[in-house]
Amino acid sequence: MAKHWTGTWAAAPQWTDPADLPPPPFTQGGLAFADCTLRQSVRVSAGGRPVRLRFSNAYGATSLAVTAVSVARPRGGQAGVPVIEAGTSSAVTFGGRPAVTVPAGAQLTSDPLDFSLPAGSDVTVTICLAAGQPATGITSHPGSRTTSYLLAGSHAHDEDLPGATPVDHWYFLSGIDMRTDATAAVVVGDSLTDGRGSTTNGNDRWPDRLFARLRSGPGPSVNAIVNQALGGNRVLRDGVGPCILGRIERDALDVSGIGWLVVFAGVNDIGTAEAASTAQRQVAADLIAAYERIAGQVRDRGVRVYGATLTPFGGNGAYDDRWGHREASRQAVNEWIRRGQRFDGVIDFDRAVRDPRTPRLLLPSLDCGDHLHLNPAGYQALADAVPALLFAT
């Protein structure tokens, strides 16, 4: 297969809640990131060279002025560290220039950079921002599960950032593409895919674990997995972030080299809808109609689309209800997904993590403690439940 650009890592952009803004002095006087260096690390799936970076100002109130960007290898190949390996820092350019202005609402892609990244490796991206941006419109990915670092001044190529402030969020960086012959599997979902309950800097969300499993095991190997989940995400309506119906084009179909899409979302639609039986019957019907729409839209682009069943939330203080109407909605949606009439394949996550004695509950050994999200063992169970043949090329 000829080499082409393929998405190898991404973080779906969303608007930033005030609680997720960087602390003072990096946010003050209504301005964030003024005279600031932001160092972030991410783990790519596919490997190769060259690479290009994507930066998003999708929710910016004003243009985003980026003064310098560098790419380097993190010290010891570790995620979430502020130190880079000496001699590995390379400058990123945009139209041959080191600085770029990203218009409000836009995304920009860097020039190709002759930088090699092995498959499954961590990479450090350092961004310098002189002017900052109004705090009312910052584009971020709050659920990074990875530590980033902030330091006053311009330090794009510094080996270490002594005294830097740690924050567990990603900002502005929205994707990394690789020139390779790989094909990407994109996952859209909510906090169960974004990794709530996973290990900070451990890269043990279920898509991470799935990539590791398929890369090392026998049989077909998916070349890249791109996690486009957002914590709190719903299929039908905006909430903590933009709904999946509204972002499917940008965050899934526009990923370079996409060959497959996995849809694992709907729990938040059921859990935030009124618990009354009428409301729950309506949300279940609306979810099924949305899955139909997504499947048709994706298939029209020549991409195979898979549906994942919704996992249990019995016992969760916010989503469980004493009448069982929300559980009935979950069961109705899962029955439709399992019939496989619209999706090209089914991934039965419900069966993988439910308690066989009480199927409305998560298996206790896989529950992170809130009876909704999973612990690292639970995310491994999801990864193990994905049939490898779904990604045979």
The type of residue at 193 is T
Q: What is the DSSP string of 201-221?
A: TT--SHHHHHHHHHHHSSS--
26: which 2 tokens? Answer: 């990096």
Q: Please give the model's pTM, rounded to 2 decimal places.
A: 0.96
Q: How far apart are CA 300 and CA 249, in angstroms?
A: 12
Q: Side chain identity at 290, as an amino acid letter?
A: A
Q: What is the pLDDT of residues 252-271, one digit of tens each?
A: 999 999 999 999 999 999 99
User: How many distinct structural domains can be found in the chain?
Assistant: 2
pLDDT digits (tens, 9 = 90+) for 216-266: 876 545 689 999 999 999 999 999 899 999 999 999 999 999 999 999 999
256 and 341 belong to one structural domain:
yes
Tokens of 260: 């497959």
Exposed/middle/buried for residue 32 (C-beta within 10 Å: 0-12, 13-18, 19+): buried
| Distance spanning both ends of the chain, measured CA to CA | 11
Residues 170 and 187 in one domain: no
Whether 2 maps to a domain, the answer reads no
Q: Give the pLDDT confidence of 292-306 residue by residue, as tens digits.
A: 999 999 999 999 999
> In terms of domains, do 147 and 258 share one?
no
- Based on the domain organization, do 255 and 307 belong to the same domain? yes
Task: Judge if 244 and 294 occupy the same domain.
Answer: yes
In a domain, 103, yes or no: yes
Q: Are residues 224 and 370 in the same domain?
A: yes
Of 176, 208, 233, which closes a domain? 176
* CATH label of the domain that carries residue 326: 3.40.50.1110
Q: At which of 176, 191, 210 does a domain end?
A: 176
End position of a domain, from candidates 112, 145, 176: 176
Its domain, for residue 260, covers 183-391
Residue 258 lies in a domain: yes
Q: Which residues of 365-375 are buried (b: 16+ CB within 10 A; e: fewer)?
A: ebbbebbbbbb
Alpha carbons within 13 A on the beta-carbon side of 81: 16
Same domain for 235 and 128? no
DSSP character for 248?
Answer: H
Same domain, 172 and 188: no
Q: Are residues 143 and 189 in the same domain?
A: no
What backbone torsions phi and psi does residue 164 show, to the nearest 5 degrees? Answer: -65, 150
